[in-house]
């Protein structure tokens, strides 16, 4: 049996890469710097393609361009850290977004290598792990768990090994529509959003909608 090609649906027009990039850029996100370490050298790159994946096991993902130096550096180190930038760390984001070779590091850049030394303010003992950035909203240390093909990127799954909270009540740096943004003061009358991990009523956060058994 042959099929009349005139019945076939018309081909879907190709989506232009720049148009897609501009559209997905309307999804507001935080801004992070991914750090890793090989020997005594710390490497970093700015990224907003970061997402929580699982609580058990505790996993997150970050998407790394295959052409980026960090792609092979993270694979070689076997570990990385996600540093969630604060609103006053825009210069750090620009520095690690490819402008690191154009000048000295921003004056606010300081790495935290390990645990504080008792009785010595500002001193710390290097624990051999991935350094995190001081002053961030928070930082998350991860071991590389798995990697997957993601087109021109690699999707890296990180197993969370340590949480490092930042200073209390520090506002985050945001990214939306191709520009850095900052949070507005909260509306006192606004309702608190439901916790997607605890509120079983928010079904769309947990699984696909399911019809009751008595529905057709």
DSSP letter string over 181-201?
A: EEPPPPPTTPPPPP-TTT-TT
CATH topology of domain 30-187: Pnp Oxidase; Chain A (2.30.110)
DSSP state of 90: H
Tell me what pLDDT residue 161 has.
Answer: 97
SS3 call for 20: helix
Q: Which residue has the tokens 């909203």?
A: 137
pLDDT-flagged residues of the chain (< 70): 1-8, 99-103, 116-122, 193-216
Tell me what pLDDT residue 110 has.
Answer: 93
Q: Encode pLDDT of 97-125 as tens digits.
A: 975 556 678 888 999 998 766 666 667 78
Report whether the peptide linkage leading into residue 77 is cis, meaning its omega lies within 30 degrees of zero: no
């Amino acid at each position: 049996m042959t099929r009349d090609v005139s019945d076939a649906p018309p081909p879907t027009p190709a989506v232009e890469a720049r148009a897609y990039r501009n559209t997905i850029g309307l999804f507001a996100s935080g801004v992070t710097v991914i750090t890793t370490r090989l020997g005594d050298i710390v490497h970093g790159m700015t990224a907003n393609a970061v997402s929580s994946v699982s609580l058990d096991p505790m996993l997150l993902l970050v998407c790394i361009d295959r052409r980026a130096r960090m792609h092979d550096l993270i694979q070689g180190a076997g570990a990385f850290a996600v540093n969630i930038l604060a609103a006053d760390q825009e210069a750090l984001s620009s520095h690690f977004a490819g402008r690191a070779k154009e000048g000295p590091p921003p004056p606010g850049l300081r790495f935290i290598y390990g645990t504080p030394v008792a009785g010595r303010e500002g001193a710390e003992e290097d624990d051999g792990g991935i350094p995190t950035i001081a002053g961030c909203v928070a930082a998350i240390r991860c071991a590389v768990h798995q990697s997957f093909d993601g087109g021109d990127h690699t999707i890296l799954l990180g197993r969370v090994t340590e949480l490092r909270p930042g200073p209390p009540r520090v506002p985050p740096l945001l990214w939306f529509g191709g520009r850095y943004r900052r949070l507005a003061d909260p509306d006192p009358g606004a309702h608190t959003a439901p916790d997607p991990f605890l509120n079983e009523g928010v079904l769309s956060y947990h699984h696909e909608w399911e019809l009751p058994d008595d529905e057709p």
